[in-house]
Structure 1
Amino acid sequence: MKFYISTTGIKRLTISNSNSNSTAALKSSPLSSTASLRRISTRSIFPLLLTLSILLPFFFLRFAFLLLESAAACSSSLDCSGWTLFPANHHASSRLSEELSRAIVDSKDSGTVGVEDGVASFNQLVKDMISKRQDMRAFALKTKAMLHTMEQKVKSARNRESVYWYLASHGVPKGLHCLSLKLAEEYAVNAKARARLPQPEYVSRLTDPLFRHVVLLTDNVLAASVVVSSAIRNSVEPHKLVFHIVTDKKTYTPMHAWFATNSVDDSVVVEIKGLHHFEWSEDVNSRVKDMLEIHRLIWKRYYDDFKGANFDFDGEDKRKLDVLSPSSLSLLNHLRIYVPELFPDLNKIVFLDDDVVVQHDLSSLWDINLGGNVFGAVLDSWCGDGCCSGRKYSHYLNFSYPLISSNFDPDRCTWLYGVNVFDLEAWRKTNITSTYHQWLKHNLNSGLALWIPGELAPSLMAFKDHMYPIDPSWHVARLGERPPQIFSKEILEDAAVVHFSGPAKPWLEIGSPEVRNIWNKHVNFSNKFIKRCRIME
């Protein structure tokens, strides 16, 4: 085949075949040749290429999506015979939606039974679905399993954090430990730190009913100093106050050294006694040991339950976290039931916990007529008479046991420890202490399940019908919870005593900074031992 092209203008195109000796002639005018060139010029090709560059990716993506959807929604090749590139009425989308809805419903009915543990991430889930070519139901089940696993991990982490927060309250900050050691050393080398408390001329006040007696059971030197200091500074007649502080044997020397060398008011009498100074009968010693052993068993049982359940708990079980509070194991805390034996020569006292701050004069507490009752306390309520917005007996006692339901009212409002007026003379005429021990034995025989752990529940039972409610302004509690109980500024300022009840004590790092300043302003930061031990830094 031969081609002949004229250089002066294409007027003739001759194609020759040497084998057949045939010729073909094409005649055209110069005008038609120019039009042909225009049709195949770049002006025509560029828009075509641009259009194709836009449409081709769209067709490719659409085709890819159809393949993916068909793999999940089609059970066989026949099921997908109706799939088209642009299905009418969005048939493919609606079918995919139906399949997904059906899979979700099936997953709700079947739960996660038969499904292996949820994958660690969504990317892994997608990877598994593509590699194993699983259907929509498997996707829904695996997604549900993954979300369930994640929810359980978050819940477990929160529960563990709550448990560790309670356990942190058992710790003794190094500053407080340092303070006790420094004061014990001071007791050994400084005669003034060993001086008799109270001074001989004030000994008669220890049993004089004309004075106002305050009892404090604690092994925390700094906390005791805040209670005594705040009470004295806010007292109208501080010279009438007599403080009886009972501590354990190891804390006796630092406690004595502190109050012997740091006097807020020389006219105030402070007595420091260690448990080793009391001479109790064998019967009392035996009952105290039994009481502590039962409380220890309660603590161990519930802590083991939390640990065995991998700290998986919610709802009412959260209330059982109170068993992890240090007060549940504190000997001094449980000995308040033996106050009449501790002070046989006293008739009326005000009992203060060591985590309180006194803000107003307490003199009127001794003038309250208890109406023949053993003690006075503030009810756990803020809505006035006739209602109970706080905790009730049902919060602490297990009313599923007939022994409890037949003796107590679940809707009865509880009262608060922290600020209490005790008529010890009236107490000695009752069987409150023996009733307390009877309920401890009932609880032991019932598998330790009669009440939620803590020191308050058995006291609520023992002091039933022996409590006189006093004005709520005497006592505002729960400043040691998380978050701290929210009270208005007016309520906090009007309260005679604020109570840091709960694990977040103000001397701990977990203490709430919002209310810690109430406690800090009564700490003697100018004291040399507090400076050396860097308390509260």
Structure 2
Amino acid sequence: MKGGGGGGSGASAYGFPAKRRWRGLVIGVLGLVILSMLVPLVFLLGLYNGFHTAGYASDPQNSKPGFQPSHVDDVIRKLGPTLPKDVFQKYAIEPKKETVDFIHESQEPKATGLPPPKVDALPKHTHENSTKVGGRVQPTDRMTAVDESGKPCEWKFGSYCIWRQEHREVIKDSMVKKLKDQLFVARAYYPTIAKLPTQSQLTQEMKQNIQELERVLSESTTDLDLPLQIEKKSLKMEATIAKAKSFPVDCNNVDKKLRQIFDMTEDEANFHMKQSAFLFQLAVQTMPKSMHCLSMQLTVEYFRIYSTKLELSQAEKYSDPTLNHYIIFSNNILASSVVINSTVSNSKESRNQVFHVLTDGQNYFAMNLWFLRNSYEEAAVEVINVEQLKLDDHENVTFVLPQEFRISFRTLTHSRTEYISMFSHLHYLLPEIFKNLDKVVVLEDDVIVQRDLSALWSLDMDGKVNGAAQCCHVRLGELKSILGENGYVQNDCTWMSGLNVIDLAKWRELDLSQTFRSLVREGGSTDAVALRASLLTFQSLIYALDDSWSLYGLGHDYKLNVQDVENAATLHYNGYLKPWLELGIPKYKAYWKKFLDREDPFLSKCNINP
């Protein structure tokens, strides 16, 4: 009994310590598991910086400020964001420079060994430490990226602060825009302030400031036109607006006034849009003042000196059918001169070339003098006054330039516009004007030549009359409203004047001039009738020139391929934007300008610099 009791007593005596040991082991294991989970999290969250000194104090190399263990660097490299190598180059700290280009706000001094720079010492973004390219402010070495408050931008991938700094645009005439905004706001508040009986002085002040800004803006359109004291006037208006805003006003009245001003501004914008369209048409359809001056100066000089000294040494060439004859219809001295100069400059032999310039009575004497003063190698130039021609069945001949027709097409998805150049009524007199010639090349005055054209004279046109560039962007079937429903092949391409090889012998045989006149009489006298008559007269009689002979569209199309422009034998500036106008397309004007003789004293006298 005692022995059993003793055994039971011993089990009871050692049971509790055994349980405590088991519980201690469980707690220890759980602690290790938790620590094993926390340690990676500490490293991933970047909290390892706090343990550098304590963990590696025994190693003198590891005790340096900013030291990071190699295995930690590997973890950060693998888990960090992937960025281009050169993304830091622009904003990297360069200790050798006097200024710091960019500062990361979370960067610690011990990472570089430099003392923390003072934010106040950073250069502000001004025009002095930046350059302007294409209307944008480009950062330089001394520019610091700062936000609106003047603090350095915190670098991070896709930072708007840095993007805004790099793409900041210089606002042109910013003061004029600011004054207009102030005037807009002042006009909105003025009616409400005027209703306050106790604010008569503020009302008078606002009225005076509004009148003053209206006077200034009526005389100034750019910042350079503004008076010297405009800054004070702007500050005065700003203070007046601030006073007006400080009073409790009825928002409905201000809203109503703002809407009225908005409607007035919209009407004014529509007016200016229509006015600009009218002025554009006026600018492209009238001769520039400088060219009118050139014509007048040459006319006066002709009657002063050259009226009795005309040289006719090359007159025998004018009717020689064995030579290459070019026909130009023009009342523009510079344009016709460029056409002839470009043709002669690119020809293999100029002695066989004869140019006939047909013009009106107003410009005849100026044209005559210009081509007497300027020679084009061995080529002969004849100037003809169309109004003095004596032709059978034509008592009075009026001068008409080649016509251009602007045709717009609208579909469900888009709209497009094409410019078709076509013969004028005067072109149909060519067989009568040049009775001794069987073949001619007709050039318009908005054409330049970049290659030798002698191959056109040996061109076999298979019995066709008119060798022309085809415009397959416009099919005859798309002109039903002009041509009618029948009488032509709807899928045929239209053709372009500009560079045309004309078989005058075949023309006379088919009597195409009479065909044209009959078609004109059938449809009246409008421009659309002239287009219809020209297209139907040469129905099935057009010889399509190869695309390399002529490239058209340089007077309206901004998207022509540069390689095509340089390879074309002739360039046709059809459209409104002629190369001698200020409105001409700049990238195409260079091809025209290089054939312009700038040394003539009459050009400088009339200030001609197209």
Into which bin does the TM-score normalised by the smaller protein fall?
Answer: 0.5 to 0.7
Distance (Å, rounded) in 2 between the aligned partners of 1:334 and 1:357: 23
Shift of 1:393: 2.1
Aligned to 1:415: 495
Q: Does 1:228 align with 2:340?
A: yes
1:437 corresponding residue in structure 2:
517
| Distance in structure 2 (CA, Å) of the matches to 1:260 and 1:250 | 17
TM-aligned CA deviation for residue 420 of structure 1: 0.2
Please report how far the alpha carbon of residue 160 of structure 1 lies from its aligned counterpart in structure 2 after TM superposition: 5.8
Q: CA deviation at 1:356?
A: 0.8
Please state if 1:349 is matched with 2:451.
no
Matched-pair contact (CA < 8 Å) for 2:327–2:356: yes
Q: Distance in 2 between matches of 1:512 and 1:219?
A: 22
- Aligned with 2:588: secondary structure? helix
Which position in structure 1 is the counterpart of 2:380? 269
Equivalent residue, structure 1, for 2:143: none
With normalisation by structure 1, the TM-score equals 0.59
Structure 1 residues 397 and 226: CA distance shift in structure 2, 3 A? farther
State whether residues 418 and 499 of structure 1, in contact with CA within 8 Å, keep that contact through their aligned partners in structure 2.
yes
Q: Which amino acid aligns with 2:561?
A: S
Equivalent residues of 1:166, 1:321 under 8 A apart: no
1:351-371 deviations in whole A, cap 9, x for unaligned? 000111111101011111111
Q: Which residue identity is paired with 1:467?
A: I
Query: Do the aligned partners of residues 148 and 249 (structure 1) sit closer, same or farther apart at CA in structure 2, a change above 3 Å counting?
Result: same
Among 535, 558, 563, the residue aligned to 1:490: 563
- What TM-score do you get using the length of structure 2 for normalisation? 0.52
1:536 aligned onto 2:592: no
Task: Give the whole-Å Cα distance in 1 for the aligned partners of 2:424 and 2:386.
Answer: 13
Separation (CA, whole Å) in 1 of partners of 2:269 and 2:477:
30
Structure 1 residue 443, shift from structure 2 partner: 2.2
2:454 is matched with which residue: 363, 387, 390? 363
Name the residue aligned to 2:300.
185
Question: Does structure 2 retain, via aligned residues, the 8 Å contact 1:357–1:498?
Answer: yes
Alpha-carbon separation, structure 1, partners of 2:330 and 2:583 = 20
Pair 1:193–1:155, CA change in 2 (3 A): farther
* Partner SS for 2:339: helix
Q: Distance in 2 between matches of 1:410 and 1:163?
A: 35
Whether the 8 Å CA contact 1:194–1:257 is kept in 2: the answer is: no
Is the 8 Å Cα contact of residues 306 and 369 (structure 2) preserved in structure 1?
A: no
Distance in 1 (alpha carbons) for counterparts of 2:609 and 2:566: 23
With over 3 angstroms needed to count, the CA separation of the structure-2 counterparts of 1:347 and 1:155, relative to structure 1, is farther
Given the superposition, is the C-alpha separation of residues 148 and 284 from structure 1 closer, same or farther in structure 2, using an over 3 Å criterion? farther
Tell me, in whole angstroms, the C-alpha distance in 1 between the residues paired with 2:497 and 2:569. 15
Instruction: Report the 3-state secondary structure (helix = DSSP H, G, I; strand = E; otherwise coil) of the residue aligned with 1:172.
Output: coil
Q: Distance in 2 between matches of 1:179 and 1:359?
A: 27
Asked if 2 retains the 8 angstrom alpha-carbon contact of 1:397 and 1:457, the reply is no
Which runs of no fewer than 5 residues in structure 1 stay unpaired?
Answer: 1-119, 132-142, 303-312, 381-387
Contact 1:163 1:321 (C-alpha < 8 Å) held by counterparts: no
Q: Is this contact kept in 2: 1:193–1:257, CA < 8 A?
A: no
1:475-532 deviations in Å (ceiling 9; x for gaps): 1112112xx3522221111111101111211111221212111111111111111111
Output the CA distance in 2 between the equivalents of 1:196 and 1:147.
68
1:360–1:497 CA contact under 8 A, matched in 2: yes
CA contact (8 A) 1:192 1:260 kept: no
Q: Secondary structure at the match of 1:245?
A: strand
- C-alpha contact (below 8 Å) 2:551/2:572 kept by paired residues: yes
**Paired residues of 1:350 and 1:420 also in contact (CA < 8 A):** yes
Matched residue type, 1:393: L
In the alignment, is the contact (CA less than 8 A) between 1:377 and 1:469 conserved in 2? Answer: yes
Q: Is the 8 A contact 1:187 1:193 kept in 2?
A: no
Alpha-carbon offset, residue 147 of structure 1: 11
Shift of 1:153: 8.5
Alpha carbons of structure 1 residues 337 and 160: separation in structure 2 relative to 1, 3 Å: farther
Secondary structure of 1:473's partner? coil
1:259-287 CA distance string (max 9 Å, x none): 1111121x211111112441123x3347x
Alpha-carbon distance in structure 1 between the residues aligned to 2:601 and 2:295: 13
CA distance in 2, matches of 1:213, 1:193: 27
The correspondence for 1:238, drawn from 346, 350, 354, is 350
The aligned counterpart of 1:72 is none
Q: Per the alignment, in what secondary structure is the counterpart of residue 351 of structure 2? A: helix
Contact 2:331 / 2:363 at 8 angstroms: preserved in 1? Answer: yes
The aligned residue for residue 42 of structure 1 is: none
Paired letter, 2:376: V
> 1:496-515 to 2 correspondence within 5 Å?
496-515=569-588
Tell me the distance in 2 between the aligned counterparts of 1:347 and 1:355.
25
Aligned residue pair count:
362
Aligned pairs for 1:94-493 within 5 A: 161-191=276-306, 194-197=309-312, 199=313, 202-265=314-377, 267-281=378-392, 283-285=393-395, 315=410, 333-380=424-471, 388=472, 390-398=473-481, 404-444=484-524, 452=528, 456-481=531-556, 484-493=557-566
**Structure 1 contact 436–462 (Cα < 8 Å) conserved:** yes
User: 2:215 — aligned with what?
Assistant: none
Q: Distance in 2 between matches of 1:322 and 1:493?
A: 21
> CA 1:351/1:440 → structure 2, altered by over 3 Å: closer, same or farther?
same
Measured in 1, the distance between the counterparts of 2:291 and 2:552 equals: 24
The 3 A distance-change label for structure 1 pair 411 and 494 is: same
Q: CA separation of 1:373/1:237 partners in 2, compared to 1, >3 Å: closer, same or farther? A: same
Q: Tell me the SS of whatever aligns to 1:415.
A: strand
**Structure 1 equivalent of residue 140 of structure 2:** none
C-alpha distance in 1, partners of 2:443/2:456?
12
Q: Assess if the C-alpha contact under 8 Å between 1:214 and 1:349 holds in 2.
A: yes
User: Partners in 2 of 1:503 and 1:411 — Cα distance?
Assistant: 28
1:438 offset after TM fit, Å? 2.3
1:397–1:452 CA contact under 8 A, matched in 2: no
Task: Quote the RMSD (CA, aligned, Å).
Answer: 4.2
- Looking at structure 2, the residues matched to 128 and 512 of structure 1 have their Cα atoms a distance apart, in angstroms, of 53
